[in-house]
């Protein structure tokens, strides 16, 4: 019985097949698209403080549909990227966990959060313990995505370490740790902890940027590692003449 290891550059699909490349390119696009979208919206939205308020709150109020669509589009791109990873690497768990992160993003776009930290204007800092159903779904799906992304970082870190790619192993582990710490601080801040509440949005943005940077660089790395050339009739790569 063949044992699957967590990560690595071994190709499944032939180099003449353009599909994995297109799917991997989705991973290159998803992160920058998401980050630019929330940075621009946060800068332009009246009464919204990017240092204080969560990214999810951009889906509330006038123009909120833009952030909702951003969640869904970035999630679908990430799901495509996960499929590309599965086809480009002989691995299961890493791509599956990346796919769960993408699914969490889609869910976060379909189910909006409740107001928090005083946005939109006129709402309290923290709603009662039992909020709306759509907000609960948003939180649970987002949490599943966060946990999956952290786990993906660790799974790939182990895989890279086994292949003695220590730089990528260290970077993957550090990304998972950094994401965890920053998101934990953001969660405490959004719970209205006096010492942190003013910078909850900043902590969350740091976490999200760390996660997206890792995924984007992973997509670029995988693209560059795919061999060039044509496939022979036997299905093996052939060097260009």
For 41, list phi and psi in degrees, rounded to 5: -65, -40
Beta bridge partner(s), residue 25 = none
pLDDT of residue 199: 98
With contact defined as beta carbons under 8 Å apart, do 74 and 103 qualify?
Answer: no
How far is 174 from 178, CA to CA, in rounded Å? 6
Residue with tokens 């107001």, as numbered in its chain: 115
pLDDT of residue 231: 43
Q: What pTM did the predictor assign? A: 0.86
- From residue 226, alpha-carbon distances to 18, 36, 92 in Å are 11, 28, 18
| Angle ∠(204,148,92) on CA atoms, nearest 5 | 145
pLDDT of residue 230: 42
With contact defined as beta carbons under 8 Å apart, do 174 and 150 qualify?
Answer: no
pLDDT of residue 4: 42
Q: Which residues of the chain have pLDDT under 50?
A: 1-14, 228-241
């Amino acid at each position: 019985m063949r044992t699957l290891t967590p990560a690595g550059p071994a190709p499944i699909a032939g180099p003449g097949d353009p599909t994995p490349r297109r799917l991997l390119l989705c991973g290159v696009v998803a992160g920058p698209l998401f980050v630019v979208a929330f940075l621009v919206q946060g800068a332009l939205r009246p009464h919204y403080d990017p240092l204080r308020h969560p990214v999810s709150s951009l889906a509330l109020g006038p123009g909120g549909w833009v952030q909702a669509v951003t969640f869904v589009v970035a999630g679908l791109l990430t799901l495509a990227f996960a499929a590309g990873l599965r086809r480009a690497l002989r691995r299961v768990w890493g791509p599956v966990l990346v796919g769960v992160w993408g699914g969490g993003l889609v869910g976060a776009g379909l189910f909006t959060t409740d107001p928090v930290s005083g946005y939109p204007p006129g709402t309290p800092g923290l709603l009662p313990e039992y909020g709306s159903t759509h907000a609960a779904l948003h939180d649970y799906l987002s949490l599943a995505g966060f946990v999956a992304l952290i786990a993906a970082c660790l799974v790939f870190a182990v895989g890279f370490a086994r292949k003695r790619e220590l730089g990528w192993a260290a970077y993957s582990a550090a990304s998972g740790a950094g994401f965890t710490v920053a998101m934990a601080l953001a969660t405490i801040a959004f719970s209205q902890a006096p010492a942190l509440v003013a910078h909850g949005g900043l902590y969350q943005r740091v976490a999200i940027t760390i996660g997206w940077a890792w995924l984007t660089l992973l997509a670029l790395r995988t693209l560059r590692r795919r061999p060039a050339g044509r496939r022979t009739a036997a299905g093996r790569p052939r060097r260009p003449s």
